[in-house]
Amino acid sequence: MYCGIDLGSRHVKIVLAEGNQITGFHKYDTVEFYKRYGYKEDDKLVVDFRGLGLPDIQPGSGGDRLVTTGYGRNTIKIRGGEDIPEIKAHALGAAWQTGLQDFTLLDLGGQDSKVVLIRNGRVTDFQTNDKCAAGSGRYLENMAAVLGISLEELGGCRKNPVDLNATCAIFGESELIGKIIEGSPVEELAAGVNYTIYKRVKPMLLQLAGPVLVFTGGVAQNRALGELLEDELQVEVVVPRYPQYNGAIGCCIYGGI
Amino acid sequence: MDNRVGITTTVPIEVVYAAGVTPVDLNNVFITADNPQDMVEEAELAGYPRNICAWIKGIYTTVVRNSDIRRVIAVTQGDCSNTHALMETLHLEGVDIIPFAYPFDRDRDMLKLQIEKLMQAFGVGWDEVNKTKKTFDKVRAIIRQIDELTWQENRVRGFDNHLWQVSCSDFNGDPGKFAAEAAAFLDRARNAPAIGIPVRLGYIGVPPIMTDLYDYLESKGARVVFNETQRQFSMPFDTDNIVEQYSLYTYPYDIFRRLEDIAREKERRGLHGIIHYAQSFCYRQIQDLIIRRQLKVPVLTIEGDRPLYLDARTKMRIDAFIEMLK
């Protein structure tokens, strides 16, 4: 069995595979995952797979292959797992999910924004956000909460975006509250929030632009943002079937499925 | 006359030593202190803004804490404009400031005048300065050999290459002792086994505020065989003329001459990629766009704010970069 784990900042994603077939997708809240289903043993994290409701993965001598990626891998290694860089995992996952060899990848996760240029299936250049996570999923969650709407509702809004200018994601909340007081409709405010994400990632995308943009990560579920990217950049935007599991799928590909 | 004078970056130390005064590179004192993070915070408590370069804040606290440093040579042109306000805040603490300016257009007459003004401040003449330069040429020749062993024979680690060259800004306060230690290191390095790390990197930009960068790179299968600015600190130029020497020195002048040096060394040293380090809030971050456009080699730009260790995000980006180069 192959097990790919993407240790994200908001969710831990686990993809299981056998032979060359993916057999399961599982998602856990990151804090819950570490608190309830992991314990530290000799500087390694031991994962309670049974507790997670998964088959008992036995890496190494047990014959299973465990590959991990994600923000968490730099802090603690999972026992029996091989860890690979996020960008590699996402590139592998996106190429496998789309069947494409030449494309620009945009991955927007809980805190990450990554843009990767793939040529002939290989990473040839990349850019990521560094010191600030304002253009990421966590920002969208906060703003949806301020507006009192779900992420799905937020992702449906793109017409007449209200101009939002705060550089800081937290100050952005008070800016949004100010606009609510001024009487802007929620849909237009939500469109403004989506447009803010676009403005954040635009400089990175322009550096590594190509005719096809594969959009992954939890934020790729935001339909309005996908449409915005397509219209503003005049590119074909491809959202694979499992955008949020892309990194974990890439781990399984690396593992050998 | 006080025996020690602080310097904010590389200046013609031949003048200082010729006067029997010991230069102290304040950056080195700051970054090798027991807790440099505390020093940054101390400057912030004094009123330095959060969004200002940590090196500036570290230098401020270094001078405030070291009561024996009552004079500082400040590079007011050719380094950064934050230095101006740094000097003003130190002046407020009773420190004497000796300004030194590298002329933007590398004008030799202006540079000569600046060196002469420095000589006047220290009460020395050309004979003593030129004699000191000749002595230092021999010290720098040893450092040049350490650099050659790094990239030609792969016997010196990236961090050691960094440390020996960066220390040339003040020769650790004792050129004779420094030369002896460097010669001993060189002897050991000549007999050291070759380092078998495949990916060869160049490091450009100001020296890093994170001290674990070189070790981390090596743990991931990449090695720095070119430290751009640190090498410049070692004055790797064949000239008998001190004005010429400080005009060939690339760091304080425009980016384009730096790029010529980087491109030349990239070819000579067979670099696979370059790490461009930019300090948070530094104007040199803007130059990244020129570097990326002009250098025909993969570039990873990393940003450091506070000392002393790489953060998880930077590690993630380094991992991906090395993976890409393999």
Cβ of A74 within 8 Å of Cβ of B320? The answer is no
In chain A, residues with a C-beta closer than 8 Å to the C-beta of B314 are 130
Query: Does the pLDDT value for residue B238 go beyond 80?
Result: yes
Q: Are A109 and A218 in contact (CB under 8 A)?
A: yes
CA A137 to chain B, closest CA, distance in angstroms equals 16
**What distance in Å separates the CA atoms of residue B60 and residue B86, rounded to the nearest whole number?**
7
Which stretches does DSSP call E strand in A172-235? 212-216
Lowest-confidence segment of A46-60, A64-78, A208-222 by average pLDDT = A64-78
| Separation CA A82–CA A80 (nearest Å) | 7
Chain B residues within 8 angstroms (CB to CB) of chain A: 280, 298, 302-303, 305, 312-317, 319-321, 323-324
Q: What confidence tier does A34 reach under pLDDT thresholds 50, 70, 90?
A: very high
Domain with residue B253: its CATH number is 3.40.50.11900
**% of residues, chain B, pLDDT over 70:** 99
Position A229 scores a pLDDT of: 97
Do B186 and B96 share a structural domain?
no
Distance to chain B for A87, nearest Cα, Å: 6
Shared-domain flag, residues B92 and B147: no
Using alpha carbons, list the distances in angstroms from residue A55 to A1, A6, A11, A254, B65: 9, 17, 20, 20, 60
| The pLDDT of residue A236 | 97
Strands A11-18 and A2-7: antiparallel
Which residue of chain B has the CA closest to A132?
Answer: B313
Contact A86 B316 (CB under 8 A): yes
pLDDT, tens digit, for every residue of A144-157? 999 999 999 999 99
Cα→Cα distances A227→A150, A186, A235, Å: 19, 19, 10
Give all strands of the β-sheet with B222-227 in edge-to-edge order. Answer: B222-227, B199-205, B273-279, B299-304
Compute the Cα dihedral for A46, A57, A219, A202 and give only its sign. positive
Name the residue facing B324 among A71, A123, A130 (closest C-beta).
Answer: A123
In this structure, the answer to whether residues B231 and B281 fall within a common structural domain is yes
Task: Say if residue A49's pLDDT is above 90.
Answer: yes
**Domain membership flag for residue B210:** yes
pLDDT digits (tens, 9 = 90+) for A51-73: 999 999 988 778 899 999 987 77
Q: Is the pLDDT of residue B95 over 60?
A: yes
Does residue B227 share a domain with residue B150? yes
In this prediction, residues A199-204 reach a mean pLDDT of 91
Chain A residues 108-127 with a CB less than 8 Å from chain B: 122-126
Averaged pLDDT for residues A5-29:
95
How near does any CA of chain A get to the CA of B77, in Å?
29
Q: Looking at domain A2-86+246-255, what is its CATH homologous superfamily?
A: ATPase, nucleotide binding domain (3.30.420.40)
Q: Where are the domains of chain A?
A: 2-86+246-255
- Of the candidates B126, B153, B181, which is a domain's last residue? B126
Q: Is residue B134 part of a domain?
A: no
Q: Give the integer Cα–Cα distance in Å for A153 and A169.
A: 20
| DSSP at A64 | B
Measured between CB atoms, which of B313, B323, B324 is closest to A130? B313
Among the residue ranges A71-80, A82-91, B167-176, B193-202, the one predicted with the least confidence is A71-80
| B305: closest chain A residue by CA | A131
Q: Are residues B10 and B79 in the same domain?
A: yes
* Residue bearing tokens 């220290």: B122
CATH code, B23: 3.40.50.11890
Q: Which amino acid is at B224?
A: V
Q: Which domain holds residue B13?
A: 4-126
Tokens coding B321 = 């970069």
The two structure tokens encoding residue B315: 């590690």
The verdict on a CB contact (< 8 Å) between A123 and B298 is no
pTM for the full predicted model:
0.87
Q: Is ipTM beyond 0.90?
A: no
Domain limit, last residue, from B80, B99, B126: B126
Q: How many beta-carbon contacts under 8 Å exist across A and B?
A: 41
Q: Let me know whether B242 and B319 are in one domain.
A: yes
What's the confidence (pLDDT) of residue B2? Answer: 62
Question: Strands A11-18 and A21-29, how do they pair?
Answer: antiparallel
Is B135 among the domain residues? no
Number of Cβ within 10 Å of residue B31's Cβ equals 22
pLDDT for res A165: 85
Is it the case that residue A171 has pLDDT exceeding 90? no
Q: DSSP strand E in A93-140: where? A: 103-108, 113-119, 122-128
Q: Which residue of A has its CA nearest to B317?
A: A128
Distances, alpha carbon B195 to alpha carbons B219, B265, B269, B273, in Å: 12, 20, 15, 18
B190 & B252 share domain:
yes
Which secondary structure element, helix H or strand E, spans residue B42, and what is its range? helix B36-46
CA A114 to chain centroid: 9
Considering the domain architecture, whether residues B183 and B282 belong to the same structural domain is answered as: yes
Residue A130, chain B, CB below 8 Å: the answer is yes
- pLDDT tens digits along B259-289: 999 999 999 999 999 999 999 999 999 999 9
Looking at the structure of chain B, the number of domains it has is 2
Average predicted confidence (pLDDT) for chain B: 96
Q: What was the pLDDT predicted at B40?
A: 97
Q: Read off φ and ψ for residue B169, nearest 5 degrees.
A: -65, -30
> What number of other Cβ atoms are within 10 A of residue B190's Cβ?
12
Average of per-residue pLDDT across B246-260: 96
The confidence score (pLDDT) of residue B12 equals: 98
pLDDT exceeds 90 at position B108: yes
In a domain, B153, yes or no: yes
Say if residue B112's pLDDT is above 70: yes
Contact B313 A75 (CB under 8 A): no
The verdict on a CB contact (< 8 Å) between B317 and A128 is: yes
Chain A residues with CB under 8 Å of B313 CB are 71, 128, 130
For residue B1, what pLDDT is reported? 46
Amino acid at B190: R
Torsion, Cα B148 B150 B151 B152, to 10 degrees, reads: 60
CA distance A133 to A109: 10
pLDDT band at B124 (very low <50, low <70, confident <90, very high): very high
pLDDT over 80 (residue A132):
no
pLDDT score, position A208: 92
- Distance to chain A for B128, nearest Cα, Å: 49
Tell me: pLDDT of B27 over 60: yes
